[in-house]
Amino acid sequence: MIIPAIDLIDGKVVRLYQGDYAQKTEYTYDPIDVVKKYANGGAKWLHIVDLTGAKDVEKRQLELIKSMVDTGLMRFQAGGGIRRKKDVEQLLEAGVERVVIGSLAVKQPELVKNWIDTYGPNAIVLALDININANGDKMIATHGWQEDSGVKLEDLLADFAQVGVRHVLCTDISKDGTLKGSNVELYSELVKAFPNIHWQASGGIGQLTDISDLKPAKVSGVILGRALLEGKFTIEEAIACWQDA
């Protein structure tokens, strides 16, 4: 499945380069118009990153997110600085179907496992951003990619298997925002190692061949951000490429 992504700061559509707020590109699109455009193009899900909420949980853009959900045109997963049970519940109450949780899954795994138990495995997506070191270890990064958690991806997933984690969005940091292709080998390996997880590949898609290249990896979803916003191809072309590949 092709899943377009939209990053939001203070109501505006933006993209960060490799998670760096100092390297921000701002687009002149209205978020509701983006929802309509992607839905009309055939997308069924939208991935929302609330970057304002990620910096300050009290400034989460709940009204905007709810207005996007209320279009009824798509299904939504959303995240950005989820730290409390209240944050999860606010998004679910706004109509978001899946809450995306990043660093907290590493820092407070027992808390996040409890949420999976409470709300069900279909309500939570773990967003795990990794750096692959010289030894080939997949190390999870936290704090907006600024810190190495010291936790290996495989170890965390083995822990979360206890509560039946179902959705994982994995980003190879070295690929994100580069438009230079995805890490197909990584996702192929992860799908084989953890076949019960619905994997979402994120980072690096810059042309249609990057989408078709991912097909053999058998990921469940492909996150598309910058390439769509900058017109490298259309959502219709991306969906057709994924279905035909």
- Domain ranges in the chain are 2-244
Does residue 141 sit in helix, strand or coil? strand
**pLDDT tens digit at each of 245 positions of the chain:** 999 999 999 999 988 766 677 777 888 899 999 999 999 999 999 999 999 999 898 999 999 999 999 999 999 999 998 999 999 999 999 999 999 999 999 999 999 999 999 999 999 999 999 999 999 999 999 865 566 788 999 999 999 999 999 999 999 988 876 778 899 999 999 999 999 999 999 988 999 999 999 999 999 999 999 899 999 999 999 999 999 75
pLDDT of residue 157: 96
pLDDT of residue 17: 67
pLDDT of residue 163: 97
> How far, CA to CA in Å, does 70 sit from each of 66, 80, 120, 129?
6, 20, 23, 30
pLDDT of residue 144: 59
CA distance 116 to 112: 6
Find all residues with CB under 8 Å of 161, minimum gap 6, and list them. Answer: 194, 196
pLDDT of residue 142: 81
pTM (2 decimals)?
0.93
Q: Which fold has domain 2-244?
A: TIM Barrel (3.20.20)
User: Which amino acids are annotated catalytic?
Assistant: 7, 129
